[in-house]
Every structure is written in structure tokens, then in C-alpha cells.
A and B are shown apart, each in its own frame.
Chain A
Amino acid sequence: MNDPKELKPNENGKPAPGNVFLNESGRKTDKKEGWPRRIWSAVQIPVLAILSGLLLGAVFIVVTSANVYSAFGTGFGAGVREAFSTIASAYGALFEGAFGSPARIAEALRTGEKIERAFKPLFQSFVETTPYIFTGLALALGFRAGVFNIGGEGQIYIGAVLATLVGTTDLGIPPALHVLAAILLGVLGGAFWGFVPGWLKANAGSHEVINTIMMNYIALRLVEFLLTGPMTKAGSGGMPTSNNILDSARIPLVFPRPLTLHWGFFVAIAVAILAWFILFKTKWGFNLQIAGANKHAAKYAGLNVNVWMVLGMTLSGALAGLCGSVQVLGVTYSMGLGVSSGYGFDAISLALLANNNPLGCVLAALLFGFLKTGSRAMMSRTGIPLDIVSIIQAFILVFIAAPAIIRTVFRLRDESKGDSKVVSLSGLGGN
């Protein structure tokens, strides 16, 4: 009972109604198989989902490109060539924008000059990865505890605005403490914003999906009010922003400018490792998962399911609040209405892509962060809007959520039978 690897939410391996199935990371596959095969069976769905998403994204770019149509007008061969060159230039720009130009990096490493310029895109990608790690963890932890926290967006806003409140006030304390105080308040704010829907679910039975959506909008309005009223920076009429974060409350950068990498990235990695450890190596995390995976079993084992559920929701909110605080204190240095560009929603695909595994979240967040940085470069170089990334992410999410599609397309054997992981989620109306 104390070994988390024994966690089997569904003894007979048959899908229970109302549940999502995420295949377990291959732990329980046939012992006779070699490790390469086992690893492949663990990652095949995510990898194929990502590839299919990128492929469909490419198709989408071609289908919506006016140049391709006009090239097809001159001839079929020209059209095909134009289609491939469009994709190549788009994804090429995406790649260079995310990792930096390979030639430039090689040059910089050889000569030791212009190192900052060569590595800037790479480190920018790490900066973009940071919020995805936090929100991905938030969602994953929620899913593990059996709650669907769709309110990451609101929790980020609350976390960010509270961190800003502390960060713009001169408290007369040392810089390190000032940063910590700002982060702490942000985390508490996010935690509260997660606690309320969790508490309502446990005590009033109202579904957290609806409540978190409602609280997203409440947070948005609240922040809108604060940024146009009490916290507004004089003269920021059109785009309401707060005052700048004081130097003492800023998260320090790792390297001197122009490299933008800040220590928040390493905090995110550390939090992910901590979350992994707690979830899989402590009794505490085991209880959380049991409560999330099977209410009845948990009750039978003497756990108070409601307490664990509220705790899961609160922790999830706290992580999202942390995301907001770190963004404000480490990246933007002031609070605006665009502090979150949909991280709370993107994190849903992210967590599922990572199979709700904290370390998987880091990998998935790297993918999303690099895509995001790359898409900016792609937009400025090829004129393809960066919203293509949302489309790619939507495709990835479809394939992750419906692995049957991937299996049908790629003619894979269904290896998940009998070892499916359950995220228990009922409808909006019921409890």
C-alpha cells in the first residue's frame, strides 16, 4: 500500500464511465520486453502527437498561404515547390528563433565573440519555458488530485497583481527578502483563488470547472479595476499598467543583459523536481493521488477525500500564482493586462502531454516555450502569425486526449489495455 508503483486505480482495467485515459508511462508492460521497446511504448503517443501536430500545422500554413495558391496557378510543380519552400522557411525560422542560428553559435564558440547574440534566442526560450513549467505543474497536480483546474489564468492574474503590489512598494527590507515577500503574497493569492473552487466543490458540490471559469473573469475584472484605478501608473491610459517593480524586488538575471535568463527558470525546475519527489516518493503524494484516482478506495483506506481535493486545488492555484509572480518580478517588471497569454489554458494540453508527470511537464514546457519563442521570430521573418502555435497545440491536445486516433493513423498496437491511468472527471452538472 505504501509503494506508489502499486497504484492501480482500476483493478479490472476496464474504463469506468466519465473518465479520461492517459496511458501510464509503460511501467507495467510486459517484463520480457527490452528497455528500448518499453521506453518507446511509453513515449510513442506523445512523440507521435507532437509530430502530427507539427505536420498538421504545416498543412495549415500551406492551405492558408496566398502565395501557394498563386504558385499553383502557374503550374502544379511550381505550386508544390512553393508549398514546401513556405513550410521550410516557416519552420526554419521557428527553429532558428527558438535555438539560435547554428552557424552563429558555431562561429561564436570558435572565435569567442558575439556570444551573447548567438545564445540570446536559446536563453529567451528558457525564459518563455518558465511560466509553462509552473502552470503545467499546477494542472498536473490538480489532475493527480482529481480536480480540473481550468482557472490557472485567473490565479496567474491574482498572483501577478499581488506580487506587483508588494514589488512596487518600498518596504525597506533587503532585496532578497523583498523578492521572497512579493512571491509569497502572489503564491498565497493564487492559492486562495484555487482554494475557493476547491472548497465549493467539497462542501457545496458545485463543479470546479464552472467555478474556476467564473473566477477567471472575476480575477480579470478585479485586475482591470486595480490597474485602471488604485495601482495605475500615471499616464498609462490606453494600456493600463502598474508602476515598475522596484529594483530590490526584481528576480536577478543569471547573465548580464542582453541575455534575459532569470533565476526563476531554475526555481521552476527545482519546484518540478520537488513536486515529482512528493508525488511519487512520499506517502503524502501517494495519498493525494489515491484521493484523486479513486474516491471510494480512498475513503475505504481512511482518507478524507474532500480535504485532499481542496488541498490539490489550493496547491494547483498556488503554483499558478507563483507563475504570475515570477513573470512580473522576473520578466515584465510591471503588471499589465497581458501578463498571461493564455498560459492557464495552454497548460491543460501541456499537463496531459506530460501524462501529469512533473518531470514530463518540464519537457513539455520546454517544447511549448521553444515553440513560442520560435513563433515570434517566424512572425517577424515570414509574416506567418504566431497564433499558428495555438493551432499546433490544439492538434497535439486532440491526439493526446484521443490516442485512438494516433493508433489508427499509425497502425499501432493498443498497448494501454489494462494499465490505463484514470483522471476522474465527471460532467459539469453532476458532482
Chain B
Amino acid sequence: MNMRSVTVESSIHARTLKVRDRVIGGVLIFFALLVYLAFAAAAAPETSSTFIMSRGGVVRGAMGDVVLPSRVVLTVVSVFLAVLGVALFAVGSRGRSGLFLLIGGAGLVFSFLVFVSFDKRINFASLFNSALTMSVPISLGALSGILCERSGITNIAVEGFMLVAAMVGSIVGSVTKNIWAGLLAAMAASCLLSLVHSWLSIRYKVNQVISGTVINIFSLGLTSYISSMYLQNIQALNKTPRFPTVSIPVLADIPFFGPVFFNNSLFVFGMIILVLIFNFLLFRTRWGLRLRAVGEHPKAADTLGVDVFKTRYVAVLLSGLIAGIGGAYFSLGSVGRFDEGMTAGKGFISLAAMIFGGWNPIPSFLAGVLFGFADALASAVSILGSPIPGQFINMLPYVITMVVLGGVVGKGVTGPASAGIPYEKE
């Protein structure tokens, strides 16, 4: 922010807020109409939607199915959204329009779930649980990207980091039969790649997008090469034990929430802990302040005695380690083997989550869960069969990211000011 006159700034700010309220109010009213006309009107009076509230095979915290009268529920949601929208228009949100948008989005998604399960059963617990599970690589990738970019190094190589980590994790896990050895090896491999990235971008001042592209091309080539040369033929190299599912005492017995949140792969808990740790490190410690300073204004940081190069090296290597955990999830956490191209663009979608979360760990994690939810929803919908094909739901995260980045709704998001610019010491 520039040192502009505070009053001018705040009056402009107030005006944009008002416009924002109106826009979001309009969006909510649109949602309400959509829910009523497209969903509620399609339900016969006796149609019901069944939500299964327990995960198959999970005994603790089991709960009976919930049967909803579709038409009534949808009408109520629609009226609720309309009231919210009108309130935004008339009264305003006092700067909390984001919250309203969130509620509106949730209402729309909920209505959609009710709609696709007309006279059918949809497993609500599994849906939320797989959203959380599927968010592991996305959130960890986003965290990896955040660390890197907050220090001023653009990182589009997360995909490559994760792919190599997934392969190395699978090989080492299979050979040693030890999941922890697999995880460490995956982290080490990814860290090695991030060393190359840091070396190219910091020492050789290579354009960081190109450096990332090199790593992505190399990783895809390397893993496909090793996979078709060895892993597809030799079972002993590609059959790793997986990380166990852990249930947290007491909490796992809570109906619905227990099976969804507290009975999960270790990766899920690890992800949440890492996000909290790095949120603390980035925003509450001297190290984090320096790292962010280096990403925003390296020259100023340098003048104050911060070693820009060292800070950036450390950040990129840490980013590699975290992406390594995210990559290990694919083989060690999910399927227990490595398949060619198994990251399937999750590294790129994690960049989307990073942007969506405004380069902040916790919001980016939530964005990751949202994107994971889109994945889970798309597969659930394709099983149930719905007029909206799964591919369009899969598309949503990408579209939303472009919308957020472009500032179509509210202010456009901008990242660290010096990301992508090599630093030259004078």
C-alpha cells in the first residue's frame, strides 16, 4: 500500500465495499432462484433425498441415515438465500460479504446434493471424508508453493516434485517394507529437485517459470522411464505398505464428525499439523517475517542485514520437503504403488489453491479441501448419474481460480511482490 491520504483511501474503500455487497447480494438472489427453479421445481411433493451419515466399514461414530423431504428442504434453502441476498442489498454486510458468499455457496452445493439424490441415497460421510483425503496433496502442494513464493521464488514445479516423490516413496517403501523410510526418501528426492530449482533460479537467475517447466518435463520423463523400464515388470519394486488409518480416541466416536474428521490416514493429520505449524512460523516468528520481507522487497531486507540468497534457498528446500510429503501421499498414503503420471495435475491445482487462499496457509488449506470436495463430488455424481456431468464439476476449481485471480468478484488477488524476480546483489 502506498502512503496515500488515509481519508481518500477509506472512502474509496467504503465505496468498493458497497459495490461488492450489492454484487454478492445479486449473486445470492441468483442462487436462490436457481435452487428454486432448477432444483425445487423438479421435485415431486413426495420425493425424498437420503443422506447416509456413516462411512462404509467404519464402526465408530456410526449414525442412522437422514431422509429429507426434497421439495420442502429446497424451498426453505431457496427462501433463506433470497432473504440473505435482499439483506445484503438493503443493509450491507459491514465488510463481511465473503462470509455471505461462503454461506451462499454452501447453500447451493447442499441444494445440489439434495437434487442429485432425489429418490436415491448419497453417502454424505464418505463425500466429506474423501474431500478431506483428496485435499492432502492439494493442500500440501499449496503450502509448498506458498513457502517458495513468499520468499520470492515462483514455483510451478510442485507437480514435478510430487511425481518424483511418489515414485521414490513407492520404490523405497517397497524395498525396505518401511513406510517411514519411504516417506523420508520421497522427501529427500523432492528436496533434491527443489535444490535444482533453487540453484537455477537463485544462482543462475534462470526465469523461474522456465526452471519449473524444466523440472516438470524432467520429472514426467524420469518417472515414466523408470516406471516402464522397471516398475511395471518387477512387482517387488512397486508394492509398498501404506500408512495406517488412525482414529483419535473419544473424538472418533462422535456421530458423523468422528468418521469424517477423526478417523483418517496419518497423512490427513500430518497435513493439518503442518499447515498450522507453517502458519505460525510464517506470521508469528522472526524467521517468517524475514522470509516474507525477502519475497516482497528483497533490497530492503538485504539493507537490513537479511541474507536474501540464504533465506530463499532455505524456503525453496523446505518447499521441496513439503511437496515430497504431498507426493508420498499418492503412493504411500493412497494406493500403495506408483503409476505413470499419477499426480494427474494435482500439483497445478495446488497452485490454484495457493492463489485462491491468497498465499496464506490456512485459507489455502481450506481452498484445498474445497477443491478436494469438487473432486469427490464429481465422482459421487458420476456414480449417481445427474444432468450435470462430472467433468463440469471437475472444471469448477479452475474456473473459480481464474475468476478469483481476475478479480471479477471483489478485489483481484495479488501475490508476493517480488515473486519471479531474481535478486541481484549490488
Contact = CB atoms under 8 A, between A and B. Distances in A.
Contact of A64 (B213, B229, B349): B229
Given A388-B225, A429-B416, 13 more contacts: A17-B421, A19-B207, A148-B209, A200-B406, A217-B395, A217-B398, A348-B210, A349-B213, A385-B224, A390-B221, A394-B221, A428-B156, A429-B419
A394 B226 CA distance: 16
A429 B407 contact: no
B391 A217 contact: no
B399 interface: yes
Nearest to B419: A427
B351 A210 contact: yes
Given A213-B351, A429-B416, A385 B225 contact: yes
B156 A388 contact: no
Contact of A205 (B391, B412, B419): B412
B391 A224 contact: yes
B171 to A, nearest CB: 12
A405 B206 CA distance: 11
B420 A427 contact: yes
B381 to A, nearest CB: 13
Interface of A: 15, 17-20, 64, 148, 150, 200, 204-207, 209-211, 213-218, 221-222, 224-225, 228-229, 342, 345-346, 348-349, 352, 383-385, 387-391, 393-395, 397-398, 401-402, 404-405, 423, 425-431
17 contacts: A64-B229, A209-B156, A209-B209, A214-B352, A215-B398, A216-B348, A224-B391, A225-B389, A229-B389, A391-B222, A393-B221, A394-B214, A394-B221, A401-B204, A401-B207, A405-B204, A429-B416
Q: What are the 10 tightest A-B residue pairs by CB atom distance, in nearest-first order?
A: A429-B415, A427-B420, A390-B221, A427-B419, A394-B218, A18-B421, A204-B406, A20-B207, A225-B391, A387-B224
B173 interface: no
B139 interface: no
B415 to A, nearest CB: 2
A217 B182 CA distance: 31
B399 A427 contact: no
A274 to B, nearest CB: 27
Interface in B308-364: 345, 348-349, 351-352, 355, 359
B181 to A, nearest CB: 21
A417 to B, nearest CB: 15
A224 B228 CA distance: 25
B382 to A, nearest CB: 10
A15 B391 contact: no
A218 B399 contact: yes
B422 A221 contact: no
Nearest to A66: B230
Given A150-B213, A207-B405, A429-B359, A390 B200 contact: no
B50 interface: no
B49 interface: no
Contact of A222 (B200, B228, B391): B391
B401 interface: yes
Nearest to B205: A15
B285 interface: no
Contacts of A383: 229
Interface of B is mostly: helix
Interface of B: 149, 152, 154, 156, 200, 204-211, 213-218, 220-222, 224-226, 228-229, 345, 348-349, 351-352, 355, 359, 389, 391-392, 394-395, 398-399, 401-402, 405-408, 412, 414-424
Given A210-B355, A210-B401, A423-B207, A15 B415 contact: no
Contact of A346 (B209, B217, B222): B217
A389 B221 CA distance: 8
Nearest to A391: B221
Nearest to B199: A402
Contact of B217 (A148, A210, A225, A345): A345
A405 B412 CA distance: 39
A429 B209 contact: no
Contacts of B204: 401-402, 404-405
A222 B402 CA distance: 16
Contacts of B391: 221-222, 224-225, 228
Contacts of A229: 389
Nearest to B405: A206
B210 A391 contact: no
A407 B423 CA distance: 21
Nearest to A217: B398
A204 B217 contact: no
Contacts of B215: 394
A295 B32 CA distance: 46
Contacts of B228: 385, 387
A428 B354 CA distance: 11
Contacts of B207: 19-20, 401, 423, 425
Contact of A20 (B156, B210, B226): B210
A346 B408 CA distance: 32
Contact of A204 (B206, B412, B422): B412
A349 B217 contact: yes
B156 A345 contact: no
Contact of B418 (A216, A395, A427): A427
**Interface-central residue, A222, A348, A398, A405, by most chain B CB under 10 Å:** A398
Given A200-B406, A390-B221, A401-B211, A428 B226 contact: no
B407 A204 contact: yes
A204 B280 CA distance: 32
A394 B200 CA distance: 13
Contact of B402 (A148, A200, A205): A200
A426 B348 CA distance: 19
